[in-house]
Amino acid sequence: MHLRGRHLPRPRRRGRSPQIALTHQQIAALAGTSRETTTKVLRDFADKQPIRLARGRISVLEREQLADHAGGS
C-alpha cells in the first residue's frame, strides 16, 4: 500500500478482517495532517463501522464501504 509516495505495512489478516499496524501519529505523518484530525476521521469511520480501532491496529471490517467513503473502489 502507498500513501503520498510512502510504503505502508501490508495488512495482516486475522480471521477475516485485515489489520493494519499503525498508530494514529504514524498515519497522521503519512497523510500530512495532525494526529487529532487523524483520530477524528478514524473515529468517524469506526462509528460507521467499516473499521474497528484498537491500540496500534486498525481492522478493516467492510472494505467496500471504506472504499466508498474514501471515494475509490
Q: Using an 8 Å Cβ cutoff, are 19 and 13 in contact?
A: yes
User: Who contacts 65 (Cβ-Cβ below 8 Å, separation ≥6)?
Assistant: 48, 49, 50
Comparing 70 with 22, which gets the higher pLDDT? Answer: 22
pLDDT for residue 44 = 92
Encode pLDDT of 11-63 as tens digits: 555 567 889 899 999 999 999 999 999 999 999 999 998 999 998 889 999 98
Query: Residue 67: how many CB atoms within 10 A of its CB?
Result: 13
